[in-house]
Amino acid sequence: MRSQASLAGVTVPTAQDHIAVELGTARALFTTRRGGVSGGPYDSLNLGRLTGDDDANVDTNRERLAQSLGVGWERVRWARQVHGTDVSRGEREEADAQIVEEPGVPALVFVADCLPIAIAAPTRAAMVHAGWRPLAGGILTKAVAELGDGPRRAVIGPGIGPCCYEVGDDVRERFPPEAHHGRRLDLKLAARRALEAAGVERIDDVGLCTACHPELFFSHRRDRGVTGRQAGLVWLRG
């Protein structure tokens, strides 16, 4: 019998390789490290090229992911992430958020502790790479504004939790006091507050810390930088 965990209104099938979340007009997917061909610290579904992994393995992993979605990798919308606040509709080489409005075109961000956040509106969807710098810079406000009118839903994917994210005072002071846990920072709570302020009506959280689950996720902090990348994706239904 397949084991499941109900987390903040999201049913996560823990026996599967990836975590799928329904968002009404859209669907989000958060990959794990399972199901690829990479070895060593990149075992096994590493999707990031700038990691030290063999490029051929990464390309194979990317194609496997795309095939599981029923598309070619060339159809997936992504950009080089620079921990900034730029939002792209496919026209930028560097951006930390992707907007899609054509059904069946996945928007993707790469992560290994930063939060992958999917946001869906009636005619557009966004996938956001939300580390502390993009969050503090207002990337969620910008992404939600690009989605237009109508009800909006969001889901916060697997990312480092306050249990494992110790930061300096200079970082912590950029966020509301309620997100402070001693020397640790609750990025997920900070993201939730930013989404609420931007007018997102429903916000779910899969409730998983990447640093706490080495069997499921890559973690830059836990693995001291020698690690792979998983992904967050979102696409509009046809």
> Which residue has better confidence, 9 or 50?
50
Question: Which domains does the chain possess?
Answer: 19-236 (3.60.140.10)
- 64-114, pLDDT tens digit by residue? 999 999 999 999 999 999 999 999 999 999 999 999 999 999 999 999 999
Task: List phi, psi (to 5°) of 155.
Answer: -140, 135
Task: Kindly state the average pLDDT of the residues 5-26.
Answer: 67
User: Would you say residue 9 has pLDDT above 90?
Assistant: no
Tens digits of residue pLDDT in 219-231: 999 999 999 999 9
Rounded to two decimals, the pTM is: 0.94
Instruction: Provide, rounded to the nearest whole percent, the portion of the chain with pLDDT above 90.
Output: 92
pLDDT, position 16: 56
Q: Report pLDDT digits (tens) over 147-168.
A: 999 999 999 999 999 999 999 9
Q: Would you say 148 and 124 are in contact if contact means Cβ atoms under 8 Å apart? A: yes
Burial 52-68 (b: 16+ CB within 10 A, else e): ebbeebbeebbeebbee
Residue type, 155: V
